[in-house]
């Protein structure tokens, strides 16, 4: 028995392998390769696909799984942080886009209903493509990623009222439109309540019982059922499948099983999502494109430019600095996949003629195909605009410039980014009495933390003025803890130019970023991938009852060896700027003397630290007093902080001298 869809999938994936391989060699993003595969295999070029309807169904599954995984990696706490983007940025972007393209269509001679409908179509952006790209670049949680996601969520919601309003634009709707909208609103509220209840009480208990079986197949099926049940429920209520899948992911993100679920779903997501991008390419009418190439190209550029300006303007209204608004605008400047669904309704109601429909499809597919290039180029374009002599008020915000107390700080710590890492660094600095300043680009976070009395200020640290206002010239350390790789590199380079002696510590997600950040001037780079592995093997060794001193010695050796290897430095590398090279295998450490430790109440002469243990005490901090070059007869007290010199092995081996009872095991 012949099954057409099986043969079609074989042809499509075989062609995709060849196309994406060529794209990889040319440096073209994979999404463009999938779209090009769809163009080649579609009915307009090679005509390889026969089961077009079945492919479209598989493509919808791809969108569902894509949004589901994004929801898993998100959380309700993150969603609450997006409320301004969803409730203010989204409506501003959609309303402004509808009005502007309505006026353009009206001037081109289209009717009132058709002009408004054109505005509807252009106002929507591609949730699937944008989030796929942001996810692959690890930029979903960046300021521009969060803002773009908030606007996209609103667009996925507003598509429903647009669908309901379409018959009215065609002159078919009547009083039933209002009652349908009210019914939809009530259904939406019911779904939201069910989602919250499920996330808090139902799903965790169900997954707990399933996880107890230790059966991977049952767990995977339960996760898939959760995804499709919530997606089906939202679709039945008149909302989109994609929005339901995102909500299902949010439900799962609140449980302890989210990471396992994500690992199980990812292979399926990538397979089905690729079909979605291929199906987008199949919509391109190549014959019509060749008939009107100039008109379609100009209109595509017009759509991209206008939507970029509108979306960027909406982000500017939200209070974000210029660099972020530019990237947001360029991120969501394309036409979206839900516009295709809406356009079919427009054709059915006579709001789009056959020629206009083909024109819309070709323009939309072109904007989608260009999206990976535009998003990839956006940071460089934003940095170029920031170098222009524009008003500082436009580049920055008054949050930071209105804080004169920063200029009084000296020898302070500058923390860039107030996520989990930034919060922990700030908390540690406050506990240790270290003066610090935080710059953050989330206005809500800044407003809340300022009310709590924390020295946090709004600003984009890729702008030199922000670092100047943070008094970087007098700072001792800069910690860069943001999620935007491009901005991290830019800030590192800028901080080094503004202060040649400041100590720069950078947190990055990936090992591949190490070399570039060191070259740009970072003193230390902490890759999350590497440090996560260190934490994991530390816990493994503890479970095998390996002594704490041996574990710490191993950690020091691994960090020293791997960081050197990752930086690509030969062993005979020499630098006059690196004192540690001339103090070979020697390190300076700070150790607190715990109550009950062997050293408590003893003098340095009595313990003979240098002779017996190979450790030299350079200084002792006692309360607020720093005692340099301590005398041999100086008695050590509990809670003294000793600054010691020695090899990592000697310091680790002598750790028991400083540990209290129960600490040395």
Domain presence at residue 617: yes
Which residues are CB-neighbours of 407 under 8 A, at least 6 positions away? 469, 471
Task: Give yes or no for a contact between 333 and 308, defined as CB atoms under 8 angstroms apart.
Answer: yes
pLDDT, average across residues 499-525: 87
The tokens 């499948």 sit on which residue? 241
Domain presence at residue 165: yes
**CB count, 10 Å around CB of 2?**
5
Q: How confident is the model at residue 549 (pLDDT cuts 50, 70, 90)?
A: confident
pLDDT tens per residue, range 37-63: 998 988 878 888 877 788 888 888 888
Distance separating alpha carbons of residues 33 and 36, to the nearest angstrom? 5
Domain presence at residue 616: yes
> How confident is the model at residue 51, as a pLDDT?
76
Task: Give yes or no for a contact between 93 and 157, defined as CB atoms under 8 angstroms apart.
Answer: no
In this model, does residue 469 exceed pLDDT 90? no
pLDDT tens per residue, range 212-266: 888 888 988 999 998 998 888 888 877 778 778 888 888 888 888 887 888 888 8
Out of 339, 361, 386, pick the residue that ends a domain: 386
| Residue 454 sits in the same domain as residue 382 | no
DSSP secondary structure letters along 446-506: HHHHHHTT--EEE--TTSHHHHHHTTGGG-SEEEE--S-HHHHHHHHHHHHHH-TT-EEEE
Q: How confident is the model at residue 536 (pLDDT cuts 50, 70, 90)?
A: confident
Which tokens is 195 given? Answer: 């989602």
> How confident is the model at residue 583, as a pLDDT?
55
| Residue 329 sits in the same domain as residue 207 | yes
Domain presence at residue 38: no
DSSP secondary structure letters along 641-665: EEEEEE-HHHHHHGGGGT--TTT--
| Residue 375 sits in the same domain as residue 460 | no
Out of 386, 418, 443, pick the residue that ends a domain: 386
| Residue 369 sits in the same domain as residue 406 | no
Distance separating alpha carbons of residues 653 and 244, to the nearest angstrom? 56
Per cent of the chain over pLDDT 70 is 89
Phi-psi sector, 433: left (phi>0), alpha (psi -120 to 50), beta: left
Q: How confident is the model at residue 184 (pLDDT cuts 50, 70, 90)?
A: low
Helices 90-107, 293-317: inter-axial angle, 10-degree rounding: 150
pLDDT tens per residue, range 88-147: 999 999 999 999 999 999 998 888 889 999 999 999 999 888 988 988 887 888 889 989
Q: Give first-to-last CA distance, the chain, whole Å.
A: 69
pLDDT, average across residues 627-645: 88
**CB count, 10 Å around CB of 58?**
20
In degrees, to the nearest 5, what angle opens at C-alpha 507 toward C-alphas 504 and 509? 150
pLDDT, average across residues 148-163: 86
Which residues are CB-neighbours of 564 under 8 A, at least 6 positions away? 571
| Residue 477 sits in the same domain as residue 618 | no
The tokens 């199949």 sit on which residue? 282
Phi-psi sector, 223: left (phi>0), alpha (psi -120 to 50), beta: alpha
Distance separating alpha carbons of residues 115 and 220, to the nearest angstrom? 47
Give the alpha-carbon dihedral of 100, 350, 157, 190, to 10 degrees.
150
**CB count, 10 Å around CB of 286?**
14
Number of structural domains the chain divides into: 3
pLDDT tens per residue, range 604-619: 888 888 888 888 898 9
| Residue 353 sits in the same domain as residue 436 | no
Please provide the size of the chain in residues.
665
| Residue 474 sits in the same domain as residue 502 | yes
Task: Give yes or no for a contact between 495 and 478, defined as CB atoms under 8 angstroms apart.
Answer: yes
Element (H, E) at 173: none
| Residue 238 sits in the same domain as residue 282 | yes
pLDDT, average across residues 329-358: 88
Looking at residue 611, which CATH number applies to its domain?
Answer: 3.30.70.1450
DSSP secondary structure letters along 416-458: E--SHHHHHHHHHHHHTT--EEEEES-HHHHHHHHHTT--EEE
| Residue 248 sits in the same domain as residue 164 | yes
pLDDT, average across residues 563-582: 45
| Residue 265 sits in the same domain as residue 186 | yes
Domain presence at residue 36: no
Out of 455, 476, 508, pick the residue that ends a domain: 508
Distance separating alpha carbons of residues 184 and 177, to the nearest angstrom? 10
pLDDT, average across residues 441-447: 82
HSE-CB at 144 with a 13 A cutoff on CA atoms is 32
pLDDT tens per residue, range 196-205: 788 778 888 8
Q: How confident is the model at residue 191 (pLDDT cuts 50, 70, 90)?
A: confident
Element (H, E) at 414: strand 413-416
Q: What b/e string do you get for 234-249 counting C-beta neighbours within 10 Å, with b at 16 or more?
A: bbebbbbbbbbbbbbb
619 SS3 class: strand
C-beta pairs of 266-269 under 8 Å, 24+ apart in sequence: 266/69, 268/65, 269/62, 269/65, 269/66, 269/68, 269/69
> How confident is the model at residue 95, as a pLDDT?
96
> How confident is the model at residue 572, as a pLDDT?
42
Domain presence at residue 523: no
Task: Give yes or no for a contact between 350 and 332, defined as CB atoms under 8 angstroms apart.
Answer: no
Element (H, E) at 634: none
- Which of 68-77, 216-225, 323-332, 622-631 has maximum average pLDDT? 323-332
HSE-CB at 582 with a 13 A cutoff on CA atoms is 5
Task: Give yes or no for a contact between 202 and 256, defined as CB atoms under 8 angstroms apart.
Answer: no
> How confident is the model at residue 664, as a pLDDT?
46
Q: How confident is the model at residue 173 (pLDDT cuts 50, 70, 90)?
A: low
Q: Which ranges of 283-348 does DSSP label H, i.e. alpha helix?
A: 286-291, 293-317, 322-331, 338-348
592 SS3 class: strand
More reliable by pLDDT, 153 or 404: 153
Which residues are CB-neighbours of 161 under 8 A, at least 6 positions away? 181, 184
Domain presence at residue 525: no
Nearest residue to 253 (alpha-carbon basis) of 270, 273, 230: 230
Distance separating alpha carbons of residues 358 and 347, to the nearest angstrom? 11
Give the alpha-carbon dihedral of 499, 505, 507, 512, to 10 degrees.
80
Looking at residue 463, which CATH number applies to its domain?
Answer: 3.40.50.720
pLDDT, the chain, mean: 83
Task: Give yes or no for a contact between 52 and 39, defined as CB atoms under 8 angstroms apart.
Answer: no
Distance separating alpha carbons of residues 525 and 48, to the nearest angstrom? 50
Phi and psi torsions of 643, nearest 5°: -100, 110
| Residue 137 sits in the same domain as residue 219 | yes
> How confident is the model at residue 560, as a pLDDT?
64
Specify which residues 507 forms β-bridges with. Answer: 526
Distance separating alpha carbons of residues 348 and 251, to the nearest angstrom? 36
- Which of 45-49, 122-126, 461-465, 622-626 has maximum average pLDDT? 122-126
The tokens 């303007």 sit on which residue? 313
- Provide the 8-state DSSP code for 609: I
> How confident is the model at residue 578, as a pLDDT?
46
Task: Give yes or no for a contact between 9 and 271, defined as CB atoms under 8 angstroms apart.
Answer: no
Domain presence at residue 605: yes
| Residue 364 sits in the same domain as residue 410 | no
350 SS3 class: coil
pLDDT, average across residues 280-304: 90
pLDDT tens per residue, range 390-437: 777 676 654 444 444 555 678 899 999 998 889 989 988 888 888 999
In this model, does residue 452 exceed pLDDT 60? yes
> How confident is the model at residue 493, as a pLDDT?
92
Distance separating alpha carbons of residues 341 and 331, to the nearest angstrom? 22
Q: Which domain holds residue 608?
A: 585-665
Nearest residue to 225 (alpha-carbon basis) of 274, 187, 265, 276: 265
């Amino acid at each position: 028995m012949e099954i057409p869809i099986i043969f079609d999938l074989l042809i499509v994936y075989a062609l995709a392998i060849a196309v994406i391989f060529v794209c990889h060699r040319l440096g073209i993003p994979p999404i463009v390769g999938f779209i090009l595969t769809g163009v080649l295999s579609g009915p307009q070029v090679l005509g390889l696909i026969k089961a077009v309807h079945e492919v479209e169904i598989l493509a919808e599954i791809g969108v569902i799984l894509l949004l589901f995984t994004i929801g898993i990696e998100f959380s309700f706490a993150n969603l609450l942080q997006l409320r301004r983007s969803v409730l203010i940025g989204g409506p501003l972007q959609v309303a402004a886009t509808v009005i502007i393209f309505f006026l353009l269509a009206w001037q081109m001679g289209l009717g009132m209903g058709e002009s408004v409908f054109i505005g509807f179509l252009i106002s929507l952006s591609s949730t699937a493509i944008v989030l796929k790209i942001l996810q692959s670049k690890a930029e979903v949680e960046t300021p521009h990623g969060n803002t773009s996601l908030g606007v996209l969520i609103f667009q996925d919601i507003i598509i429903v009222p647009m669908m309901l309003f379409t018959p009215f634009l065609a002159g078919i709707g009547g009083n039933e439109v209002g009652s349908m909208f009210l019914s939809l609103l009530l259904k939406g509220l019911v779904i939201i309540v069910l989602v919250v209840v499920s996330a808090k009480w139902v799903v965790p208990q169900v997954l707990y019982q399933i996880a107890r079986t230790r059966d991977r197949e049952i767990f995977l099926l339960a996760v898939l059922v959760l995804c499709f049940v919530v997606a089906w429920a939202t679709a039945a209520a008149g909302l989109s499948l994609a929005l339901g899948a995102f909500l299902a992911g949010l439900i799962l993100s609140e449980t302890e099983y989210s990471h396992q679920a994500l690992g199980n779903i990812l292979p399926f997501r990538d397979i089905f999502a690729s079909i979605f991008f291929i199906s987008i390419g199949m919509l391109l009418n190549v014959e019509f494109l060749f008939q009107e190439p100039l008109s379609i190209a100009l209109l595509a550029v017009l759509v991209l430019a206008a939507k970029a300006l509108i979306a960027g303007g909406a982000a500017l209204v939200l209070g974000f600095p210029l660099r972020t608004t530019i990237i947001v605008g360029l991120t969501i400047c394309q036409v979206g996949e839900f516009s295709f669904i809406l356009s079919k309704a427009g054709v059915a109601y006579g709001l789009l003629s056959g020629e206009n429909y083909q024109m819309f499809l070709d323009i939309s597919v072109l904007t989608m195909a260009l999206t990976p290039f535009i998003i990839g180029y956006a940071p460089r374009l934003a940095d170029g605009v920031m170098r222009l002599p524009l008003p500082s008020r436009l580049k920055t915000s008054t949050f930071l410039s209105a804080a004169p107390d920063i200029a009084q700080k000296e020898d302070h710590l500058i923390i860039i980014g107030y996520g989990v890492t930034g919060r922990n660094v700030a908390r540690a600095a406050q506990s240790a009495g270290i003066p610090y300043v935080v710059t953050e680009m989330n206005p809500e976070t800044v407003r809340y933390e300022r009310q709590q009395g924390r020295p946090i200020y709004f600003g984009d640290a890729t702008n030199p003025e922000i670092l100047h206002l943070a008094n970087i010239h007098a700072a001792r350390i800069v910690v860069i803890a943001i999620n935007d790789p491009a901005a991290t590199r830019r800030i590192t380079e800028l901080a080094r130019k503004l202060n040649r002696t400041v100590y720069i510590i950078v947190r990055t997600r990936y090992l591949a970023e190490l070399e570039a950040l060191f070259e740009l001037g970072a003193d230390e780079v902490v890759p999350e991938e590497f440090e996560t592995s260190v934490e994991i093997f530390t816990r493994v060794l503890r479970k095998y009852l390996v002594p704490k001193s041996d574990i710490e010695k191993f950690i020091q050796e691994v960090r020293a060896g791997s960081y050197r290897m990752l930086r690509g430095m030969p062993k005979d590398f020499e630098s006059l700027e690196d004192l540690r090279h001339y103090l070979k295998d020697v390190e300076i450490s700070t150790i607190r003397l715990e109550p009950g430790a062997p050293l408590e109440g003893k003098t340095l002469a009595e313990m003979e630290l240098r002779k017996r243990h190979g450790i030299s005490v350079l200084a002792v901090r006692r309360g607020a007093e720093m005692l340099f070059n301590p005398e041999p007869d100086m008695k050590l007290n509990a809670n003294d902080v000793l600054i010691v010199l020695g090899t990592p092995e000697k310091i680790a081996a002598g750790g028991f001298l400083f540990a209290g009872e129960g600490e040395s095991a």
